[in-house]
Structure 1
Amino acid sequence: MGEPGAEDGARIAAARAGDEAAFTEFVERYRRELQVHCYRMLGSFDESEDLVQETFLRAWHKRESFQGRSTFRAWLYRIATNACLDFLDRNPRQPLPLDAARAVERDPTSPAEISWLQPYPDRLLEPDAAAVRKETIELAFLVAIQHLAPRQRAVLILRDVLGWSAKETAAQLDMSVAAVKSALQRARPILRTHLPRQRLEWPSAAASASASTAQERALLQRFMAAHERVDPAAFAELLGADVRLTMPPLPFRFLGREAVAAFAVHAFGPDSPLHRGQWRSVPVRANLGPAVAGYCRLPGDTVHRARVLNVLRIEDGRIAEITAFEPRVFRAFGLPPTLG
């Protein structure tokens, strides 16, 4: 981590002296990567926004404590990490298995439900930034990392995602180097246990960012067409054999092509209020992957209203996972609540 240049040093000095404008201008350059860091720690887009604001507020109040022994960026990461750990101390939560009575199909090898999970809009990512170069921003990774204890999670993110040394990580977390190494050794096997098959090796951010291949785009078009035609049979043709559908924060999970296809028949069949609805789809990108915002106009209504944001994971030309989010996440993607 290099030291700031003379111009940055002057801004830091001004900020330490109480120049709020200089402070704001300087910290804002780190907003996006700090939000991604908080998002990995918490799994929630809304909470990551709040924690970045908390980080900047703490940094302002502690500005005189910055002595230049580390970079200003590293100092902000330390504050952000501790803000997240404090939040998790105040709001302890653990991934919990679905209640047997409410689960559509149970699979002991499948990750537990993460009810607080939210998608991250690609439009807010900086693909070339160090914060996303290691790529670990997919929802599958976010789900897996939530199984780690908060401090283990922080160690794994700083070491394996951001690439910081054990010494730098220890300084960030007020831990010994030995404790950091021990925490990482415990965290990695847990993470591997909860990652989906074929996701033990993660592609680079550049590969993920450019993964919108012709095949993926064609599959996305077929997905949207099936949705707009309310065609469960066409939808089922797109699914992989081991496809998984989840709906955070709702405690429902559908595992396997047959179960997911049966849900589609139920959701859009003659007995569903959505059966006679007219659908429109808007393609977006979330967590460095394809996503579709679904709007529906019911009989008697004059507009299409936001219904669902489906984030897709595609493997071998088929849909391997669908994570369906409620319309309240549309705001983060710059999507309107209705379409004419």
Structure 2
Amino acid sequence: MTEARPLGADEATFIAAARSGDASRFALITERYRRELRVHCYRMLANYEDAQDLTQETFLRAWNKRESFRGDAALRTWLYRIATNACLDFLDKREDRVPVPAELPDAGFEVLYLQPYPDRMLPEDPQESVVVRETIELAFVVAVQHLPPRQRAVFILRDVLGWPASKAADALGLTTASVTSALQRARVTMREQLPDRRLDWRRPAVHELSNDERGAVKSYIDAHQRNDLDALTSLLRDDLRFAMLPEAGTLTTTARDAVDGWVSGGLFQRGHDDWRGVATMVNHMPAAALYLRTSDAPEYRLFAIAALRVVDGKIAELTGFDATDKPWLDLPPTL
């Protein structure tokens, strides 16, 4: 590592803990970086559970390599380097962690392993470059998955975290020229994947939901609770993009066809027509946690979570996730 800098308090404390072999002191020092490292791993992997595992792997590797840390770089930089390479090693071994062609014609590619990121697990006092809203939203995370792993790492380090080329090259064991070339190719792909989005990813962005977003979530929940299919249809844009993960089948559809499809699949029919909902947020996006009470159950059970992208007061993208057996979403299992 070539980042010349004076030895800071964190680095000095870390070195002392490393030399003493004091695992509890080591954990205390590194734990403060857990949330931002998990966000970093999530951008690399698009899967919250994988990100949890790789963050833990980062700390294990850091402990095993603790004697190699000399304070030439910031402790944070050193941990990000380890996390990035841990994610790359993971991706090298997992052939199922790539976008796959959609089953429906003209639907592009799907990221079936995508999971939502609960807002409560984001850093409490984040640097803007770590969790700026547009770089944690689902569309951005999906777009990043279309980059080959090393391009993905370069893009995140350079354009999201704002690292200079030399620092990113050092972290990845590449030349500065190869990092510059990889970034140029990555930017082309990101423009193709997100043609309607701005590409200045590190510019400050508003984290709070707009009135339109809050209103759309409330109306979406109300329509479910009333089984009001006309109201639900009116909330959806006619070029709605819909996915229900981890099932295949992302598609762009009309509002009426989307609702008709849900009904033909059994929703809003007897036994699947008693709903309750809770407004929440995932990926800095408005979301609705939906609970269903069936005829054989005395309570409403967590069924799914719907992340919404709202444009001009209407739902333009709806990404649904199976919410069962995911305690990290921090949603009550029953109502």
* TM-score, normalising length: structure 1: 0.90
Q: How many residues align?
A: 328
**Aligned position for 2:99:** 95
**Aligned position for 2:327:** 331
CA contact (8 A) 2:100 2:111 kept: yes
Of the three residues 67, 72, 86, the one matched with 1:69 is 72
Of the three residues 294, 300, 309, the one matched with 1:298 is 294
**Aligned position for 1:235:** 232
- Taking the aligned partners of 2:270 and 2:50, their CA distance within structure 1 comes to 34
Is 1:226 equivalent to 2:230 in the alignment? no
Structure 2: segments with no counterpart, 5+ residues: none
CA contact (8 A) 2:46 2:141 kept: yes
CA contact (8 A) 2:292 2:300 kept: yes
**Aligned position for 1:128:** 126
**Aligned position for 2:316:** 320
Per the TM alignment, residue 267 of structure 1 is displaced from its structure 2 partner at its CA by: 4.0
- Taking the aligned partners of 2:242 and 2:31, their CA distance within structure 1 comes to 37
- Taking the aligned partners of 1:172 and 1:77, their CA distance within structure 2 comes to 8
Structure 1: segments with no counterpart, 5+ residues: none
Q: Percent identity?
A: 46
SS at match of 1:251: coil
Which amino acid in structure 2 is aligned with residue 239 of structure 1? L
**RMSD of aligned C-alpha atoms?**
2.1
Which amino acid in structure 2 is aligned with residue 263 of structure 1? G
- Structure 1 residues 288-318: Cα deviation after superposition (integer angstroms, max 9, x where no partner): 1101110110113111111111011111211
Classify 1:265/1:221 alpha carbon distance in 2 versus 1 (closer, same or farther; 3 Å): same
Per the TM alignment, residue 207 of structure 1 is displaced from its structure 2 partner at its CA by: 3.3
- Taking the aligned partners of 1:199 and 1:162, their CA distance within structure 2 comes to 18
- Taking the aligned partners of 1:256 and 1:3, their CA distance within structure 2 comes to 57
Classify 1:319/1:90 alpha carbon distance in 2 versus 1 (closer, same or farther; 3 Å): same
SS at match of 1:298: coil
Per the TM alignment, residue 114 of structure 1 is displaced from its structure 2 partner at its CA by: 0.6
- Taking the aligned partners of 2:228 and 2:167, their CA distance within structure 1 comes to 54
Which amino acid in structure 2 is aligned with residue 25 of structure 1? L
Per the TM alignment, residue 113 of structure 1 is displaced from its structure 2 partner at its CA by: 0.9
Which amino acid in structure 1 is aligned with residue 227 of structure 2? V
* TM-score, normalising length: structure 2: 0.91
- Structure 1 residues 133-164: Cα deviation after superposition (integer angstroms, max 9, x where no partner): 37401100111111110000000000000000
Classify 1:73/1:89 alpha carbon distance in 2 versus 1 (closer, same or farther; 3 Å): same
Equivalent residues in 2 for 1:1-340, closer than 5 Å: 3-6=6-9, 8-92=11-95, 93-99=97-103, 103=104, 106-107=105-106, 110-126=107-123, 128-129=126-127, 130-133=129-132, 135-195=134-194, 197-201=195-199, 207-210=205-208, 212-257=209-254, 258-267=256-265, 273-274=271-272, 277-328=273-324, 330-339=326-335
Per the TM alignment, residue 6 of structure 1 is displaced from its structure 2 partner at its CA by: 3.5
CA contact (8 A) 1:12 1:23 kept: no
- Structure 1 residues 180-201: Cα deviation after superposition (integer angstroms, max 9, x where no partner): 0010111111111122x43244
- Taking the aligned partners of 2:32 and 2:56, their CA distance within structure 1 comes to 13
CA contact (8 A) 1:289 1:311 kept: yes
SS at match of 2:305: strand
Per the TM alignment, residue 328 of structure 1 is displaced from its structure 2 partner at its CA by: 3.3
SS at match of 2:49: helix
CA contact (8 A) 2:132 2:205 kept: no
- Taking the aligned partners of 1:233 and 1:153, their CA distance within structure 2 comes to 42
CA contact (8 A) 1:295 1:308 kept: yes
Per the TM alignment, residue 253 of structure 1 is displaced from its structure 2 partner at its CA by: 2.4
Per the TM alignment, residue 29 of structure 1 is displaced from its structure 2 partner at its CA by: 0.7
Q: Which moved more, 1:319-328 or 1:7-16?
A: 7-16
Classify 1:29/1:97 alpha carbon distance in 2 versus 1 (closer, same or farther; 3 Å): same
Per the TM alignment, residue 3 of structure 1 is displaced from its structure 2 partner at its CA by: 4.6
Structure 1 segments, 4+ long, off by >3 Å, are 1-4, 200-208, 267-273
Which amino acid in structure 2 is aligned with residue 159 of structure 1? R
SS at match of 1:141: helix
Which amino acid in structure 2 is aligned with residue 137 of structure 1? I
Per the TM alignment, residue 232 of structure 1 is displaced from its structure 2 partner at its CA by: 1.7
Which amino acid in structure 1 is aligned with residue 219 of structure 2? R
